[in-house]
Chains A and B, each alone.
Chain A
Amino acid sequence: MRGIQRNLASLEAAGVKAVAISADTNDESRELCQKANLRFPLLSDRKADVIRSYDLLVPHGGEDDRDISGIAEFLLDSSGTVRWRHFGETKAERLVDEAKKL
């Protein structure tokens, strides 16, 4: 997440917005947002409906046996079509490279 923040200007220069989704509550997202000084939206998917629709749910993967999201990145073009995707953490520089290809 911090890597994305560091490269946010490069992503935006390539015409790409960034959003992040997790099963965190809004309060948890706000805490992370402030602590890491993130300037892109952290969306709260408390019921994990969106996470499920992307088939990324990791049941009992989190603290207190919470259902959480797996790590994944999807790069969509302006029509909302997936142009690149990756499961697991990706270096932000790679994301910028892929964004430039759009």
Chain B
Amino acid sequence: MAAKLWNWRPWAGFGLSLGALAGYVLWVNETRAVFWPALLLFAVAALLLVSGLKRRPREPELYRGKIAGYVLTSLSALILALFGFLVYEVSRVFPEAKNSPQIGQRAPEFSLVDSNGENFTLSQLLSTPITNSGGAARATKGVLVVFYRGYW
């Protein structure tokens, strides 16, 4: 009997699922839109897994790996569930930010009061020099605006 062939499709599907999750986790901080490419990768992974599972029973004498396909499919389903959970969590923590000022765009003006009751506007922050405790003034080249979730 000839050596059986390696049924690579479940493995590829599993690898793709892992890759989709890893890619999502790596890039979600840059843009939440990374959700769609990851979903596409999961769809391709599912196709590979299903076709791999179908292939073996049809030609069991040709392909080895009795349970590997099922194990890999189950693991991939787990990874997909984890992905779904992450997408849900991210939607609760990260803003959509579709209409956030983009690179090259003018940032919206603001006028807000700080914790000492002092008023700050963006235009005033940009146009006044930096004064540190040493008393020396330095020209302002830019402003870093940080948004944070709050203190609780």
Q: Which residues of A contact B (CB under 8 A)?
A: 1, 4, 9, 11-24, 26-33, 41-45, 50-51, 53-58, 61-63, 66, 68-88, 95, 99, 102
When distances are taken between beta carbons in the complex, the residues of chain A under 8 Å from B29 are 86-88
| Residues of B contacting A45 in the complex (Cβ-Cβ under 8 angstroms) | 110, 112
- Cβ–Cβ contact B115 & A29, under 8 A: yes
- CB pair A17–B143 under 8 Å, yes or no, is yes
Task: Show the binding face of B for A, using Cβ within 8 Å.
Answer: 28-32, 92-110, 112-118, 120, 122-123, 125-126, 130, 132, 138-152
User: In the bound complex, how far is the Cα of B106 from the Cα of A80, in angstroms?
Assistant: 6
Partner of A15, one of B106, B125, B142, B152: B142
Q: Within the complex, which residue of A1, A61, A73 is in contact with B93, where a contact is CB–CB below 8 Å?
A: A61
Asked whether, in the complex, the Cβ of B141 is within 8 Å of the Cβ of A56, the reply is: no
Give the complex CA separation of A73 and B107 in angstroms: 12
Known pairs A29-B115, A82-B103; A24 contacts B150 (CB<8 A): yes
**Is A86 within 8 A of B30, CB to CB?**
yes
* Chain B residues with CB below 8 A from A11, complex form: 144
Chain B interface, DSSP helix/strand/loop, else mixed: loop
Within the complex, what minimum Cβ distance (angstroms) separates B28 from chain A? 8
Query: Which of B97, B115, B130 sits near A56, CB closer than 8 Å?
Result: B97
Contact in complex: B125, A70 (CB < 8 Å) = no
Q: Which listed residue, B32, B123, B151, B152, touches A80 by the CB 8 Å rule?
A: B123
- CB <8 Å contact, A69 and B145: no
Residues of B within 8 A of A19 (CB): 120, 125, 143-146
Among residues of A, the one whose C-beta sits closest to the C-beta of B113 is: A44
By the criterion CB–CB under 8 Å, are A76 and B142 in contact? Answer: yes
Q: Is B107 a contact partner of A80 (Cβ separation < 8 A)?
A: yes
State whether A70 and B97 are in contact (beta carbons under 8 Å apart), knowing that A22-B147, A95-B144 are contacts in the complex: yes
Question: Chain B residues with Cβ under 8 A from A14's Cβ?
Answer: 141
A18 in contact with B146 given A61-B93, A86-B29 (CB within 8 Å): yes
Give chain A residues whose Cβ lies under 8 Å from the Cβ of B145. 19-21, 73-76
**B109, B117, B149: the one within 8 Å of A69 (CB):** B149
A3 CB to nearest chain B CB (Å)? 10
Q: Are B100 and A78 in contact (CB-based, < 8 A)? A: no
* 8 intermolecular pairs with C-beta atoms under 8 Å apart: A17-B142, A21-B112, A24-B152, A31-B151, A75-B143, A76-B126, A80-B126, A87-B97
